[in-house]
Amino acid sequence: ALLLYIEESIVWKIHFDRSFTFHGSGASVVLITPSGDPIPQAFHLVFPYTKNIAEYEELISRMKLAIKWNIHHVKVVGDSQLIIKQVNDEYKVKDEKLIPYKKLVETLKEYFVRITFEQIPRAQNRSADAMATVGSMLCIPPGNNDMPFFVENFC
> From edge to edge, which strands make up the β-sheet containing 12-21?
114-119, 73-78, 12-21, 24-32, 38-45, 149-152
CA angle, 55 then 23 then 15, to 5°: 25
Give the span between the Cα atoms of 132 and 16, in whole angstroms: 8
Residue 36 lies in a domain: yes
Decide if 73 is inside a domain. Answer: yes
Strands (E), 85-127: 114-119
Smallest CA-to-CA distance from 145 within 39, 1, 45, 24 is with 45
Range of the structural domain that residue 137 is part of: 11-152
Q: How far apart are CA 52 and CA 58, in angstroms?
A: 10
Query: Mean pLDDT in each 10-residue stretch from start to end of the chain (155 residues)?
Result: 37 60 51 68 60 84 85 85 95 96 97 89 51 44 44 38
41 falls within a domain? yes
How far apart are the C-alpha atoms of 38 and 142, rounded to whole Å?
32
Residue 17's H or E segment, with its range, is: strand 12-21
- What is the CATH number for 96? 3.30.420.10
User: Residue 77 has what pLDDT?
Assistant: 82
pTM of the model: 0.61
Is residue 5 domain-resident? no
pLDDT of residue 48: 57
pLDDT at 99: 96
Helical pair 51-68 and 99-109, crossing angle rounded to 10 deg: 20
